[in-house]
Structure 1
Amino acid sequence: MTAYAIGHLTEVRMGPGVVRYLEGIDATLAPFGGRFIIHGEPPEVKEGRWTGTLIVIAFPDIAAARVWYDSPAYQAILPHRADNADGVIMLVDGTPADHKATDVLPPELLAAAR
């Protein structure tokens, strides 16, 4: 199942460190099947307030995402981003193609609502 590395960067301080990070990240993704899905495009906000930058990288599965993040190649460039950007980075599994919204509900809550 596809998994994702998601970054919500609330402040990016552009400079040489960020340039080095961006120049190096593509080569770290390739061996693990990673590819950018979203990379900094401003969202069209429909509800609420959004600040920051969103990055989403898809991987074939959560194991590949974990191995990429922990890889020596990624760890070597990571300080260039971490020292120059604030935010949250996370790895998360996707959902299967047949996922329904109610799949997240405990069966007893679903039964009680019917």
Structure 2
Amino acid sequence: MTAYALAHLMPAEPHPDVCEYLERIQATLDPFGGRFVVHGAAVEVREGSWPGHLVIIEFPTLADARAWYDSPAYQAILPLRADHIDGDLLIVDGVGPGHDSAAMGRAMRAALT
């Protein structure tokens, strides 16, 4: 099942280390089948607030996403970004093709009674 790494990154001043991180990150993703789905595009906030930028990287599986993050190649470049841009990074499993939110809602309703 597809998995995702999501980063909510706060605004920051440009820095040469961040440029190097951007130049090197794709090489860390390739061995794990990672690809950018969203990378810093403007967000349209409809509810709440969202300071900063959104990055979404897709992986074939949750194991691939975890292996990428823990890989020596990614850990070597992580400080280039993390030392200059605050943010949060999450890894999450996607839903399968048979996902049914109505069934999920019915199960939640049943649990309430």
RMSD: 2.0
Distance between the aligned counterparts of 1:73 and 1:97, measured in 2?
Answer: 32
Distance between the aligned counterparts of 1:33 and 1:26, measured in 2?
Answer: 10
Distance 1:64 1:113, change over 3 A: same
| Residue in 2 that maps onto 1:44 | 44
Instruction: Give unpaired runs (5+ residues) of structure 1.
Output: none
| Residue in 1 that maps onto 2:24 | 24
Q: Give, in angstroms, the shift of residue 113 of structure 1.
A: 7.3
Q: 1:37-78 deviations in whole A, cap 9, x for unaligned?
A: 000000122222221000000000000000000111101100
| Residue in 2 that maps onto 1:8 | 8
Instruction: Give unpaired runs (5+ residues) of structure 2.
Output: none
Distance 1:34 1:103, change over 3 A: farther
SS state of the match for residue 12, structure 1? coil
Equivalent pairs, count = 113
Query: What percentage of aligned pairs have identical amino acids?
Result: 53
Contact 1:4–1:59 under 8 Å retained in 2: yes
Write out aligned runs for 1:64-83 (5 A): 64-83=64-83
Q: Is 1:110 the equivalent of 2:109?
A: yes
Distance 1:30 1:112, change over 3 A: closer
Residue range with higher mean Cα deviation, 23-32 or 4-13? 4-13
| Residue in 1 that maps onto 2:61 | 61
Q: TM-score, normalised by structure 1?
A: 0.89
| Residue in 2 that maps onto 1:33 | 33
Residue range with higher mean Cα deviation, 33-42 or 13-22? 13-22
Q: Which structure features the higher share of strand residues? A: 1
